[in-house]
Amino acid sequence: MLRLAKYLKPYLLLILIAVALLFVQANADLALPDYMSNIVDYGIQQGGIQNAVPVALRQSEMNRLVLFMSSTEKTAVFNDYNLINKDSPDYQKYLTDYPTLAKEPVYVLKPIGQAEITVLNPVMAKAIMIVSFIQQVMADPTKAAAMGQGAGFDLSKFPPGTDIFALMAKLPAGTLTQVTSAIDQKFSTLGESMIVQMAVGPLKAEYAALGMDTSRIQTNYIVQTGMLMLLVTLVSIACTIAVGFLSARTAAGLARDLRRNVFRQVESFSSVEFNKFSTASLITRSTNDVTQIQMVVIMVMRMVIYAPIIGVGGIIRALAKSTSMWWIIALGVIVLLCMVLTIFSIALPRFKIIQSLIDRLNLVTRENLSGMMVIRAFNMQEFEEQRFDKANLDVTSVNLFVNRVMVTMMPAMMLIMNGMTVLIIWVGAHAVAQSQMQVGDMIAFMQYAMQIVFSFLMLSMMFIILPRAAVSADRIADVLETEPLIKDPSSPRQFPDRFQGNIEFRNVNFRYPGAEEDVLHDITFTAKPGQTTAFIGTTGSGKSTIVNLIPRFYEVTSGCILVDGIDIREVTQHDLREKIGYVPQKGNLFSGTIESNLLYADENASDEDLKLAADISQSSEFIEAKPEGMQTEIAEGGGNVSGGQKQRLSIARALVKKAPIYIFDDSFSALDFKTDAALRKALKDHTGKSAILMVTQRIATIKNAEQIIVLDEGQVMGKGTHEELMESCEVYRGIALSQLSKEELA
């Protein structure tokens, strides 16, 4: 994957925006369990009261609370409250909020920050609980006697209705401290949060005594928190949509760029590189492999970046809720990782096999489609079906194996998650029963645990998908990083303005890459403009190889090829091929119309140029016979025209170029003798100034050529005109006599 990282550079901004949005989304998702915890703890259990710092308090109740505070705590409390009475300027305003103000003064909390509330919270909670506890004790003589013994006096001796707090205010400081210490022991096993939660009940009673609507407080808190949850959820949804859009745009753009670059790279390949990569493999790399990369980029942007944020954030927030249950998360993650590593080790080797099997399937499919006529002619349909079935079943079996391994992940994951849920509820319930944890915190811890597991699961899924994408990425990178054997020079030369088309081979030797021996040996000749140079010889003698060296489809091993005195390796391939009209051994037509195929040589050619090329190539007759004429549709590969018509259209396409050099690589083999003769005569009349190089097996085709080169096993066995070779070259004479009678050769 790293080998293709540079192709992501144009999309770096989109990736950075997506990462920023993922941080926002992750924080929004992590905030939701906290809000749910608050609804349960504060909204339901505490009636909408978030802390033990009263917003308002009767003067009589405040006097009771401060009895159990230190002097420092008293000062802090009175500094944060205003005493409101009938003489206060805001009396009428507060009277509406606190109707009891009409009977006695009320302490109202000043606007203070969260930090100050955090300081006051345990102080007020503890005092409220002590006052509440004493009130409960005084209602039960048995409890009063027990507490009195711990404090040094018997509270049960006080007659009913006695204002015990007024009496306590008159006690010596040491005695009051003993009472406070005795009550403190009752709360020593509780945490601060539990004391605050327990103080909410008496605080609600105080709010009721003030005339406040406590049910409205609860409703408002739940509604406000719910609206915040909705807002956070909408932010998360918006980020999810935005990240999805950005990831899809990035992945689609990368896939487009990779396909374009692969195509451009393949266009620069010489025949050597095409021998290294099969056509079926290049098609798979440009389609299936690129699709794998596109899919994994989307998943990386949406999951791989998001998962660690959720995982780390979930762990931090879960431990903030409870440090005693960390081992449950650790156990779940360890079990999950063990499961994923096991699946990973089993599935990974198969991912590397799948792509090569797809190559094989494409190859078999391509061979069947292109060779359908041969298959039918030899009645080999059943054999080819079996060959296709084997390639198809090989891909299917490996995919099925991988899928069978992968499907175990979901039930195993659900088992782990449900097991963790049960364990959290079991352990958390005991903590709640012992007042060590609140119910909402347990619910939030459970949700964070699920988020953590899901984050590890997402990463695990990526570790399973990434290997296959990595294989695809390597296959694409292999193509993109392949250095073409044939390159343009860094400082190319230019052909002269008065280009003639003189071609000279000087001691040219050639061997195919990886071969042990040369296939061409010391080839030397000159092809002059205005003349036809023909190549003939036995099969495999090197005729097509020679003409393929001229447009640099292959590079000479030694020696040189000169065009107008310039070594063809010193000019660009574009400039060289711009001077050549090439007709391959196998005529290739492209899907479109006859006109579009002819314009392939020169898109600016006029209708007259097309008509002339068709006339020379003897194509006009069958073109005009079609109702659409030049607009006749050509099927893929020219499947709807005959072999002879395909060759003639290929020749016409080359002629449209009006090139100074023409190469015909056995391009007349599908023509009858009459058409062949007419075409050669028309060529002679209209391409008289061009150098023509012609490969053929027919003596009749080259009989009138100015120069005939006879090849045998890669060596020049003879060179001259037809008459000269009939006298001096035994190889040529043998080929000629095998095709024509002595009378025809005369």
Q: Are 313 and 26 in contact (CB under 8 A)?
A: yes
Q: What is the pLDDT, as a whole number, of residue 233?
A: 93
SS (H, E, C) 275-305: HHCCHHHHHHHHHHHHHHHHHHHHHHHHHHC
Which residue ranges make up each domain of the chain?
2-36+223-480, 53-212, 495-579+660-746, 587-658
Q: Are 657 and 581 in contact (CB under 8 A)?
A: yes
Residue 59 neighbours by CB under 8 Å, 6+ apart:
83, 104, 105, 106, 107
Pair type for strands 106-109 and 81-84 = antiparallel
Sign of the CA dihedral 544, 550, 556, 562? positive
Taking the model in full, what pTM does it have?
Answer: 0.72
Consecutive 10-residue averages of pLDDT for the chain (746 residues):
84 92 91 86 80 89 85 88 89 88 90 88 86 74 56 56 68 64 63 75 87 86 91 94 94 92 86 77 85 89 85 83 79 82 76 77 81 80 88 89 79 82 84 73 83 79 74 85 85 89 93 86 92 89 90 91 93 91 84 89 88 89 87 81 85 90 85 83 84 88 89 91 89 85 65
- 56 sits in which H/E element: strand 56-58
Q: Are 501 and 691 in contact (CB under 8 A)?
A: yes
Q: What is the pLDDT of residues 39-97, one digit of tens each?
A: 887 788 778 888 888 999 999 889 888 888 888 888 889 999 999 988 888 888 888 88
DSSP helix/strand/coil, 526: strand
Q: What is the pLDDT, as a whole number, of residue 43?
A: 82
Sheet containing 81-84: order of strands: 56-58, 106-109, 81-84
According to CATH, the topology of domain 2-36+223-480 is ABC transporter transmembrane region fold (1.20.1560)
List the alpha helices (DSSP H) in 371-435.
372-377, 381-406, 409-433
Q: What is the pLDDT, as a whole number, of residue 142?
A: 63
Q: How far is CA 76 from the centre of its chain?
A: 59
Closest CA to 544 of 519, 514, 570: 519
DSSP helix/strand/coil, 372: helix
Q: What is the pLDDT, as a whole number, of residue 256?
A: 93
Task: Write the CATH number of the domain with boundaries 495-579+660-746.
Answer: 3.40.50.300
Q: What is the pLDDT, as a whole number, of residue 709?
A: 93
Cα(429)–Cα(328) distance, rounded to whole angstroms?
Answer: 14
According to CATH, the topology of domain 587-658 is Rossmann fold (3.40.50)
Cα(712)–Cα(160) distance, rounded to whole angstroms?
Answer: 132
Give one DSSP letter per residue of 702-737, joined into a string. HTT-SEEEEEETTEEEEEE-HHHHHHH-HHHHHHHH
Closest CA to 495 of 601, 580, 560, 570: 570
Do domains 2-36+223-480 and 587-658 share one topology? The answer is no
Q: What is the pLDDT, as a whole number, of residue 140?
A: 65
